[in-house]
Chains A and B, each alone.
Chain A
Amino acid sequence: MKSLRSISIIALLIAGCVSIKPQHVTRDKSVTRDEGVTRHASRVTNFFSPATSHLFKATLDIRKHHLTGLLVVKRMDTLPPTPPQTGRGEWPGIYRIVFMNEIGLTFFDLEMKTDSFKVISCFESLNKSALMKILETNFRMLTWSGPLKNETPYIQDGTKNIVRSGMAGKYKTWQTFSPSGDTLYTTSSKSNIFDPAIISFAKYSEGFPVKIILENPFIGMKMTLRKLVQ
């Protein structure tokens, strides 16, 4: 029993070491800080503007389980947020995120606000609080649109990609952009050892990533999204 507990603790510690930091990055000293926010902070990450919805073909793999269907991300609020209400470190807006199978039956229906994450409905087998917390981290980072707090600039060796690290709300976050800074490649975040989220954005069309992959290496979850045009 004791050895089983030790193994579990070791496994947790190993899992806790999941690094979300992009590889081969060095501090970019050419960029100066201005009250904790770098001058190059205004990168394009706002994919979900108010009152818009996006439809994706989606697959969700969690270990041996494989689900396919459609994912709808709808931003419910209509008014653009004003700075005093939505300062740094917040998720402005109200999002509804629905994952359903191809035939139309809902796997989960979630509502995400600045300070709450509500499960509207969910298949019993998916409705586990640990999984919902992991999905919350992923969807919060997917919809993150502001600059990072206490941003620190880096350059990725070889690729010359621009890398920023800082805080997105409670999440320690790394963002990797193209060398020109106008295209977001990856966002990786975590607030604890259980919820590391690595999100890759690819195949941009008209400023929107057509392919998005959300991963949690801790539980081996991978959600692949491909944008559909209705």
Chain B
Amino acid sequence: MLHNPAILFWSLMLISWASFPAMSQNRPIDAASSESLKNRVKEVAMNTRTISCDFIQEKEMSMITEKITSKGKFFLKKEKMLRWEYLQPFSYIIIIKNDHITIKDENKVNQFNVQSDKVFLEINRVILGSIQGTLLSDEQNFKATFFENSTSWVVKLTTLNPKLKESLSEIVLWFDRKDYTVSRLEMKEPGGDCTRISFSAKKLNQPIADEKFKVN
């Protein structure tokens, strides 16, 4: 029966198709590989002076079937300059420069110190730490478990800090195998809701003017 080329072709296609999900599944990695990944991520983060990229954020709620999707641009410049800009379906800009936060919500601008707002301080630490990979070594607040698949290194961070656990139960980070930068970030809440942020059109170490970190 396998002498029939058409049947052989379709059998091979079926086998490839059936094995694809297994290939794309996450496999745990050993302690030595985890340590090596942590060091590599740290090294890349240290050598990265700027990051600019697009992002798509999807909020998935347990009881509501629709996802809430927003899009925007992300800019990071060492030391401590960040622009997180939502473009769709609303306009919202967060700029962090040293410890000062400027928020432009539609046309309203607010400025405050990051230390004065504990919630914002925590969110800032989690988001920046995720992108820069520093959360991987934050053993006081997270228990890290390491996996790999064909395209990414996957790090699951289970929240240990009881205060943080109230709003975030787990963070999952996908590091691109090619450049060890974060390509996807998933924040899981205790109630089952989840926010996924995917980064694309990533540019590393390209010049970004300081003006980008000012609100017009």
Query: Is B101 on the interface with A (CB-CB < 8 A)?
Result: no
Determine whether the beta carbon of A102 is less than 8 Å from that of B86: yes
Query: Which of chain B's residues have a CB closer than 8 A to the CB of A111?
Result: 63
A103 to B168, CA, bound (A): 12
Residue from B68, B70, B105, B190 in contact with A72 in the complex, judged by beta carbons closer than 8 Å: B68
With A53-B64, A72-B61, A105-B167 known as contacts, the answer to whether A120 contacts B191 (CB < 8 A) is yes
Expressed in whole angstroms, the minimum distance between the Cβ of A224 and any Cβ of chain B is: 11
Query: Is B193 on the interface with A (CB-CB < 8 A)?
Result: yes
Interface residues on A, range: 20 to 34
Determine whether the beta carbon of A68 is less than 8 Å from that of B105: yes
Expressed in whole angstroms, the minimum distance between the Cβ of B74 and any Cβ of chain A is: 12
With A55-B89, A98-B61, A100-B59 known as contacts, the answer to whether A106 contacts B68 (CB < 8 A) is no
Query: Which of chain A's residues have a CB closer than 8 A to the CB of B70?
Result: 102
Query: Is B176 on the interface with A (CB-CB < 8 A)?
Result: no
Determine whether the beta carbon of B191 is less than 8 Å from that of A121: yes
Number of interface residues of B (CB under 8 A): 29
A104 to B123, CA, bound (A): 11
Within 8 A of B (CB), among A23-59: 53, 55, 57, 59
With A68-B105, A123-B167, A228-B89 known as contacts, the answer to whether A106 contacts B193 (CB < 8 A) is yes
Query: Is B92 on the interface with A (CB-CB < 8 A)?
Result: yes
Interface membership of chain B positions 96-137, coded 1 if the CB is closer than 8 angstroms to chain A and 0 otherwise: 000000010110001000000000000100010000000000
Query: Which of chain B's residues have a CB closer than 8 A to the CB of A106?
Result: 167, 189, 191, 193
Residue from B64, B92, B166 in contact with A102 in the complex, judged by beta carbons closer than 8 Å: B92
Determine whether the beta carbon of A121 is less than 8 Å from that of B105: no
A105 to B92, CA, bound (A): 16
| Main SS at interface, chain A | strand
Query: Which of chain B's residues have a CB closer than 8 A to the CB of A229?
Result: 89
Expressed in whole angstroms, the minimum distance between the Cβ of B37 and any Cβ of chain A is: 26
Determine whether the beta carbon of A124 is less than 8 Å from that of B166: yes
Query: Is B90 on the interface with A (CB-CB < 8 A)?
Result: yes
Query: Is A109 on the interface with B (CB-CB < 8 A)?
Result: yes
Q: Taking beta carbons and an 8 Å cutoff, which residues of B are in contact with A?
A: 57, 59, 61, 63-64, 66, 68-70, 86, 89-90, 92, 94, 103, 105-106, 110, 123, 127, 166-168, 187, 189-191, 193, 195
List 17 A-B residue pairs with CB atoms under 8 Å apart, sorted by A's residue number.
A53-B66, A57-B90, A57-B106, A66-B110, A68-B92, A72-B68, A76-B63, A96-B61, A102-B94, A103-B187, A104-B57, A104-B68, A104-B187, A109-B61, A120-B63, A121-B191, A124-B166
Q: Taking beta carbons and an 8 Å cutoff, which residues of A are in contact with B?
A: 53, 55, 57, 59, 66, 68, 70, 72, 74, 76, 96, 98, 100-106, 109, 111, 120-121, 123-124, 228-230
